[in-house]
Chain A
């Protein structure tokens, strides 16, 4: 009993959906960090090469598979080969993990957005202590933006072992974030497009990794999106467009991020200088306004020679202010988005306006990516005849959102941010590499490259360029294998995994080792998705043997 598959109203909607999925928070907070760490503009060279050699071919492959098989990830891979539906299941598992923790970022963005409507911005001033003689100690030691993030937003515990209770404020914001996502996906994936009218070997490895994850390969979202395409859709053109727009957005975001860095560095440098000037003026009772940034060095030398004993007392407190060291602080991830940016914003004129705009942008990026993530889970579920015969689409979406929201409450606990980092670093990285590798090998060698080529030609009407064939068949799989080996060996060599914990007494981050149960969770995260592939293949083998009693389980061609 086959219903017509819902379709995108126009190809442009499909492109917008892909772009909004691919352009996410990683473009804003990961790519600029990588640029800064690996030589600035010269990072673009490995990045663009990897884009052309790895990103575009794999993106095209996933879109083509989705468009050809016209099903979500599980059904699509089952069609390629019944033993391979494990790949689809693995994709769904990884997407499930991603959905669970990714929406927490949107919850945090909502929190900051709601707090942007105050004067002064709550992260620009420290709160007063008990007897109102000064500021809270933790805020003094750190900075007001760090205090607001670690204490007011996360209420973070000193280590991952101390879980604490669920914090009701971020929990409320998480519920709202899931409600917004549910609202967007309620009408089905095809409605999501309507929402926006929107060296050094490490450098190369990071460029490859960045392209890989930035495009969102391996989650099944792209397959899901493409499965709603008309078979004759020119997905080759769209693959190129989406990857170019994704990379341009990353580069544009870097320009913005670097100017924010520059602003913040200049501001911090100048306040550092002012602190030194004040210290010297007060210690030596110099005339107020005599010391400026220009004559600071000369006066310091003069004071050192004229009052050596007093100068040596004061000397330890004099910080060496340097614009370069301020510029060198490279931050990525939540630290960049919620600490560095907010610090820059609080010093701007009309900071409430910039704050609202910035967090609104974060929300748009985050929710856009969430729609793709949920599509990866929902499309296989709604494709499955068993489930969709019992429940309507709205109920399935609602249940998935509810389940994810409930599990996401874990991240609103006091230790939630540490678990968030675990999921962010380990839930998707290794598993995705393996999934995409299996996908590429499956299409090229199990399904047959020539067969796929003729399918595509029949579908779209265009012949397949030799470039794609070369990439799919040889270069991209080799690249993924080398990335995989590199990461595995890196994990093994590093030994125990460590994390950054916030120490309230010192007002800064300290490095700690993960306790055994956290390491177990990490292992489980990686294994649960990877093991799907062999387990399902094994299960298929066994059920076939049992059903047929046939020694040769090869599919009938």
Chain B
């Protein structure tokens, strides 16, 4: 293979069988190589104009312990190697079939210089987070509205009662005696409230 090997059109392949399969790892022997050649030939046959690719056109070499090796695909005349671009696109199209034949995946069966098409994440049409956000937002909004409404109702109920008392309150407050610049707080008229006359602390310091 040395004289027709064209570094441009050759690809290095790396397998990590033990990493992928652990105890169930199979040994890499010539039969597995044959299967590999068959898969590459199969991929090439799917390319238009290359339907006549045979297993014997696929050449492997430099197989190491790793397991890794180089391969090229030659044309029927066995004199030229097929351009890298064709091989690349053929392998990419059938990557899944090749992986499955060896029980491997994109990371454990690597074709150097042939990037694999990564599976896009499944994006739902509406992002999930917006749905959850919408639910929580509505709940909080409804709870807030309820609290505000009940607060307004309570307010109205409270103010219906002592509204008469409030008028007398206002009249009283208009008459504020001022002595030495200190306003005297009027006695609290509302029933059941703290009587200011007996609160001593606030009067020690002059309010502003």
Question: Are B137's CB and A179's CB within 8 A?
Answer: yes
Q: Tell me whether B97 is interfacial, beta carbon within 8 Å.
A: no
A168 → chain B closest CB, angstroms: 11
Once the chains bind, are B14 and A540 in contact (CB under 8 Å)?
A: no
- Asked if A199 CB lies within 8 Å of chain B CBs, one says no
Q: Which 3 A-B residue pairs are closest in the complex by CB-CB distance? A: A289-B18, A114-B129, A285-B64
Instruction: Give per-residue flags for B36-71: 1 if the beta carbon is below 8 A from chain A beta carbons, else 0.
Output: 000000000000000000000000000011111000
Partner of B19, one of A81, A82, A127, A288: A288
Are A555 and B206 CB-contacts (below 8 A) given A133-B117, A183-B144? Answer: yes
Which A residue sits closest to B132, measured CB to CB? Answer: A114
Cross-chain contact A115 with B64 (CB below 8 angstroms): no
A186 touches B144 (CB 8 A): yes
Q: Contacts A187-B147, A282-B66 given: A556-B206 contact, CB under 8 Å? A: yes
Q: Does B101 contact A (CB under 8 A)?
A: no
How far, in angstroms, from A195 to B201 measured CA to CA in the complex?
33
Residue of B nearest to A548 (CB): B181
| Cross-chain pairs A/B with CB under 8 angstroms, 16 sampled | A1-B169, A1-B173, A114-B132, A117-B132, A118-B129, A128-B121, A133-B118, A135-B118, A173-B133, A183-B143, A186-B147, A282-B66, A285-B64, A285-B65, A289-B19, A557-B204
B141 to chain A, nearest CB (A): 7
Contact string against B for A residues 520-557, beta-carbon threshold 8 Å, 1 for contact and 0 otherwise: 00000000000000000000100100011000000111
Does A323 interact with chain B (Cβ within 8 Å)? no
Does A316 touch B at the CB level, under 8 Å?
Answer: no
**Judging by beta carbons under 8 Å apart, are B14 and A282 in contact?**
yes
B129 partner, pick from A81, A115, A134, A180, beta carbons under 8 A: A115
With A79-B205, A172-B133 in contact, is A288–B140 under 8 Å at CB?
Answer: no
Which A residue sits closest to B17, measured CB to CB? Answer: A288
Q: Is A425 an interface residue (CB 8 A)?
A: no
Contacts of B148 in A (CB 8 A): 186, 394
Q: Which residue of the partner chain, among A135, A183, A287, contacts B66 with CB atoms under 8 Å? A: A287
Binding site for B on A (CB under 8 A): 1-4, 78-79, 81-82, 110-111, 114-115, 117-118, 125, 127-128, 132-135, 172-173, 176, 179-180, 182-183, 186-187, 281-282, 285-289, 392, 394, 455, 540, 543, 547-548, 555-557
Q: Is residue B183 contacting chain A, with contact meaning CB distance below 8 A? A: no
Q: A127, A172, A281, A282: which contacts B121 (Cβ < 8 A)? A: A127
A82 to B151, CA, bound (A): 35
Complex Cα–Cα for A540 and B116 (A): 76
Known contacts A288-B18, A288-B66; is-contact A79 B132 (Cβ 8 Å): no
B194 pairs with A2, CB closer than 8 A: yes
Q: Is B86 an interface residue (CB 8 A)?
A: no
Complex alpha-carbon distance, A394 and B148, angstroms: 7
- Cβ of B194 and Cβ of A4 under 8 Å apart? yes
Q: Provided the pairs A285-B68, A394-B151, A556-B206 are in contact, do residues A117 and B18 lie with their beta carbons within 8 angstroms?
A: no
User: Using Cβ atoms and an 8 Å threshold, which residues of chain B touch A134?
Assistant: 115, 118
The listed residue (B15, B17, B205) touching A82 by CB distance below 8 A is B205
Interface string of B142-185 (1 = CB under 8 A from A): 01100110010001000000000000010001000000010000
Partner of A1, one of B16, B143, B188, B201: B188
Q: Which of B113-146 contact A (CB under 8 A)?
A: 115-118, 120-121, 128-130, 132-133, 136-137, 140-141, 143-144
- A539 to chain B minimum Cβ distance, whole angstroms, is 10
Q: Give the residues in chain B near A285, CB-CB below 8 Å.
A: 64-66, 68
Are B144 and A547 within 8 A (Cβ)? no
A179 pairs with B141, CB closer than 8 A: yes
**Chain B residues with Cβ under 8 A from A4's Cβ?**
193-194
The answer to whether residues A556 and B205 also contact, given A2-B188, A289-B19 and a CB cut-off of 8 A, is yes
Which residue of the partner chain A has the closest CB to B115?
A133
- Across the interface, A2 reaches (CB within 8 A) one of B66, B67, B196, namely B196
CA distance A114 to B136 in the complex (A): 10
* Residues A118 and B128 in contact in the complex (CB < 8 Å), given A1-B188, A556-B206: yes
Interface-central residue, B64, B65, B116, by most chain A CB under 10 Å: B65
Contacts A115-B129, A173-B133: A288 and B16 contacting too (C-beta < 8 A)? yes
B202 at the interface (CB under 8 A from A): yes
CA distance A282 to B151 in the complex (A): 72
Interface residue B208 (Cβ < 8 Å from any Cβ of A): yes
**A118-B128, A555-B206, A556-B205 are known contacts. Are A128 and B144 too (CB-CB below 8 A)?**
no
Q: Are B117 and A78 in contact (CB under 8 A)?
A: no
The distance from the CB of B76 to the nearest CB of chain A, in whole angstroms, is 32
Question: Which residue among B18, B132, B169 has the maximum number of chain A CB atoms within 10 Å of its CB?
Answer: B132
What A residues does B129 contact at CB under 8 A? 111, 114-115, 117-118
Question: In the complex, A289 Cα to B66 Cα: how many Å?
Answer: 9
Chain B contacts for A82, CB-based, 8 A? 205-206, 208
Asked if A179 contacts B16 (CB within 8 A), the reply is no
13 additional A-B pairs beyond A117-B129, A187-B151, A555-B206, beta carbons within 8 Å, are A2-B194, A79-B202, A125-B121, A134-B115, A179-B141, A186-B144, A282-B14, A282-B66, A288-B19, A289-B18, A394-B151, A543-B208, A548-B181
- Residues of B close to A110: CB separation below 8 A: 133, 136
Bound together, the chains give a CA A82 to CA B206 distance in angstroms of: 8
A556 to B203, CA, bound (A): 10
Query: Which residues of B lie under 8 Å from residue A543 when comparing CB positions?
Result: 208
**How far does the alpha carbon of A78 sit from the alpha carbon of B18 in the complex, in Å?**
78
- Give chain B residues whose Cβ lies under 8 Å from the Cβ of A133: 115-118
Which residues of the other chain, A, contact B194 by a CB distance below 8 angstroms?
2, 4
